[in-house]
Amino acid sequence: MRWTYRVMFLTLMAVIAGWILVAGNVKLPELVTAALRQPTGSADLVYYDPLPAGAMDDEKCEWVPASAGTVLAAAPQDGAPALAEASGKKPVRMIRDRYPSYSAVAVDPSNNEVVLTDENLFNVLVYNRLVNTSAAARTEPKRAIGGLKTKIEFQSGVYIDPKNGDIYAVNNDTVDTLVVFSRQAKGDVRPDRELQTPHGTFGIAVDEEHQELLLTVQHDSAVVTFEKTAESEDAPIRLLQGEHTLLADPHGIALDTKNDLIFVTNHGSVHQVRPGAVAASGRRRDRNLQKSNWPLGFSNAIPGSGKILPPSVTVYPRTASGDAAPVRVIQGPNTQMNWPTGIAFDPRSNELFVANDMGDSILVFNASANGDVAPIRVLKGPKTLIKNPTGIYVDTNNDELWVANFGNHTATAYKLSAAGDTAPLRVIRSAPADQPTLSIGNPHPVAYDSKREQLLVPN
Amino acid sequence: MHSIAYDEIHDEFVVPQQFGQAILTFRGGADGEEVPVRVIQGSLTQLRNPDRLAIDPVHNEIFVPQGNAVLVFPREAKGNVAPIRVLKGPDTQLGASALAVDPVHDLLIVGGNVRGRGSRLLIFNRTDEGNMKPKAIIGGPNSGLTQISGPFAVYPPKNAIVVSVRGSSSESNEMSSDECFVGVWSTQDNGDVPPRWTIGGPKGILRMVRGVDLDPKNKSVIVTDKRLNAVLTFYFPEMF
């Protein structure tokens, strides 16, 4: 009986297979190949149903968008499917933070103002220094500078001229221009001065005594120094770049003018560039323009030389140039550094303050420290409100430390000696505390995770 | 970070690390400070400025555009490994800044800009290597491919190439442009062919479009916009 069933089953399978071969669109070799396929241990293309050539051309009905309101252009004359558009189509969802996200901070002590850059809605915002805002409220800025004329976009660094209140703001990544505004500027106004910078500048420090302006350059792992009054296409007067500098994705920069030192925070990623090469520079549309002291970019990168190093603070003489080695390096697990970003120096206490982005902390080091040293104090904890700090400022006039928290819509002020889980003295808020912070900053790619139905958005 | 690719089959995502000249692969559910499960990095890799990439999870390969070349690595490669294929040479006409793979029809679509030729989409066989000519080239004044703006996507069942276009190069368009849009071409297009669809522009909501990905299940096109600093989802069943 069992044998009879087997014969019936095999006969039925043979009939079905024959029908597929005769009536279906399957070729015998494909069936044989599939039957002989062995597991590879990896994902493998088993079968696909190829569309015939020109399949889409035959599906004109599918190419007519039901929702399109207008036709962009007439149909091509060659019989191709009609061009249609949905340019007016509205998104069904938009993920966007409605509130400013603070990234850099500086204090104008003469005018009792705090200046914050906003990397979400692209403004420079000026607040009363003494304002303190409750968790349920937003802080109203005294002035806002923003709009396409201002060339303000992802502003990662800010400096206030102590003499006249001019605001220097550094654009990171998307606009290769340092913009300078007078203290009176507000709204969508052109900068009073613009300086063409290398691509990827982040931090700024100004040496008032020597009238020099220093910028870190993330992409090229470099520090460029300009005259403070530089503008337009002026070239840097010094360049610090090269393997021996140990610069590696530099971010913040601070000056010790008394001891003529530069402090730079480094996230740690770096590649080498061809020594002796000549950099092309200038705007992206004018790459042939060459300037002295312009950092070597990716066109001069040595393939395969990349490294991902531990984060660090590197220390140089103020006038260091070329491929000069640092005089000291603070680096190692005891430092607690994790994406050290903003950095500030207090000359009175000889202390370095580091905004430790991924550590949600402020690390304070002796500025003479060297090697794998622990911070002398750490400001961290839920009471501090410190979340993804990127900007930091030491206000020596008022003995205060200011922190720009990219991760929670706040800028917070503390005593300079604050440590542990200490609440801020005052809080500036761009949004009520219950509003979620999206931390979107310059989203470029996106990937859809179909398994979790999530969007992956690098920033 | 200018690229990310989710591998649905192996539940991993892959990103380029431009400054450190590396390719990092993470668990699909990675969260917090997870270390990558694999890293491709070192002197043999030929990686100069890995800025974008694409993954072919069917044939287990990672494609990395590098200007005048496309490097191909095994998906499971780690450490200091050489590419298994390199597409490079004058006949390729490559100016490779972004790319996508159609594993069903065995196509490699490379987007980029070559001085004097503008932005174009070059279509190769997936396994092409050396100094191979593209099978087809989409580009020209009628194509609207002024500047390819970021990573793009393909949808093999409909032969669709979905590309972000940022508009013409000018100072006024540097930060925000009325000209930017997401355009849809076909892998069977060739020449100076206009997009079959445009989404979100020109003169639409998009201000400075960047990356694109697709959610076929929900018939959606997902787009990032630098000026809006936002992620937008367009329901677009017509394309799926």
Chain A hits for B57, CB-CB cut-off 8 Å, are 43
Q: Is residue A32 included in any domain, yes or no?
A: no
Residue A280's pLDDT is 66
**Domain residue extents for chain B:** 1-88, 90-240
The helix (H) or strand (E) run that includes residue A216 is strand A212-217
Q: Which two tokens stand for residue A22?
A: 């005769």
Answer yes or no: do B157 and A96 touch at CB < 8 A. Answer: no
Phi-psi region of A388 (alpha: psi -120 to 50; beta: other; left: phi over 0): left
CA atoms of B55 and A397, how far apart (whole Å): 55
Chain A hits for B204, CB-CB cut-off 8 Å, are 87-89
Structural domain range at position A339 = 102-448
Q: Is residue A308 included in any domain, yes or no?
A: yes
CA atoms of A275 and A258, how far apart (whole Å): 32
Q: Which residues contact A286 (CB under 8 A, 6 or more apart)?
A: none
SS3 A300: helix
In DSSP notation, A155-183 reads: EEEEEE-TTT--EEEEE-SS--EEEEE-T
What is the nearest CA distance from A400 to chain B, expressed in angstroms?
32
Residue A82's pLDDT is 40
Answer yes or no: do B230 and A96 touch at CB < 8 A. Answer: yes
Q: Is residue A319 included in any domain, yes or no?
A: yes
Q: Which two tokens stand for residue A450?
A: 């179909």
Residue among A91, A93, A450 minimizing CB distance to B205: A91
SS3 A12: helix
Residue A289's pLDDT is 60
- Counting the structural domains of chain A, the total is 1
In DSSP notation, B92-113 reads: GT--BSEEEEETTTTEEEEEEE
Residue B170's pLDDT is 80
Q: Is residue A86 included in any domain, yes or no?
A: no
Long-range contacts of A138-142 (CB under 8 A, 24+ apart): A138/A99, A138/A429, A138/A430, A138/A431, A138/A432, A139/A428, A139/A429, A139/A430, A142/A113
Residue B169's pLDDT is 81
Residue of B nearest to A151 (CA): B175
Q: Is residue A16 included in any domain, yes or no?
A: no
Tell me the torsion sign for CA atoms B198, B201, B202, B207. Answer: negative
Answer yes or no: do A444 and B214 touch at CB < 8 A. Answer: no
SS3 A31: helix
CA atoms of B22 and B17, how far apart (whole Å): 5
Mean pLDDT lowest among A40-54, A164-178, B154-168, B212-226: A40-54
Which CATH class name applies to B90-240? Answer: mainly beta
Answer yes or no: do B4 and A456 touch at CB < 8 A. Answer: yes
Residue A87's pLDDT is 65
In the block, which residue shows the tokens 């191909």? B72
For residue A388, how far is the Cα from the chain centroid? 13
Chain B hits for A443, CB-CB cut-off 8 Å, are 210-211, 224-226, 229-231
pLDDT digits (tens, 9 = 90+) for B4-33: 999 999 999 999 999 999 999 999 999 999
Residue A277's pLDDT is 81
Residue A38's pLDDT is 41
Answer yes or no: do A87 and B234 touch at CB < 8 A. Answer: no
Distance between start and end Cα atoms, chain B? 29
ipTM of the complex: 0.96
Label residue B1 by pLDDT band (50, 70, 90). Answer: confident
SS3 B70: strand
- Does A451 reach chain B within 8 Å, measured CB to CB? yes
- Residues 106-165, chain B: which have Cβ within 8 Å of A? 150-151, 157-159
**Best residue of B231, B239, B240 to probe chain A, by most A CBs closer than 10 Å:** B231
Residue among A68, A90, A358 minimizing CB distance to B205: A90
CATH label of the domain that carries residue A310: 2.130.10.10
Chain B hits for A66, CB-CB cut-off 8 Å, are 237-238
Instruction: Determine the Cα angle at A24 with ends A19 and A28, to 5°.
Output: 80
Residue A281's pLDDT is 60
pLDDT digits (tens, 9 = 90+) for B101-133: 999 999 999 999 887 788 999 999 999 999 999
CA atoms of A345 and A353, how far apart (whole Å): 6
CA atoms of A403 and A116, how far apart (whole Å): 10
Residue A67's pLDDT is 31
Residue A28's pLDDT is 37
Find out whether A83 and A75 touch, Cβ atoms under 8 Å: yes
Label residue B202 by pLDDT band (50, 70, 90). Answer: very high
Residues in chain A: 459
CATH of domain B1-88: 2.40.10.500
Q: Which residues contact B2 (CB under 8 A, 6 or more apart)?
A: A444, A445, A458, B16, B18, B51, B52, B150, B151
Q: Is residue A420 included in any domain, yes or no?
A: yes
- Does B31 reach chain A within 8 Å, measured CB to CB? no
Tell me the torsion sign for CA atoms A385, A389, A391, A397. Answer: positive
Tell me which residues of chain A have a pLDDT lower than 70.
1-88, 280-289
CA atoms of A386 and A388, how far apart (whole Å): 7
Answer yes or no: do A448 and B58 touch at CB < 8 A. Answer: no
CA atoms of A5 and A165, how far apart (whole Å): 95
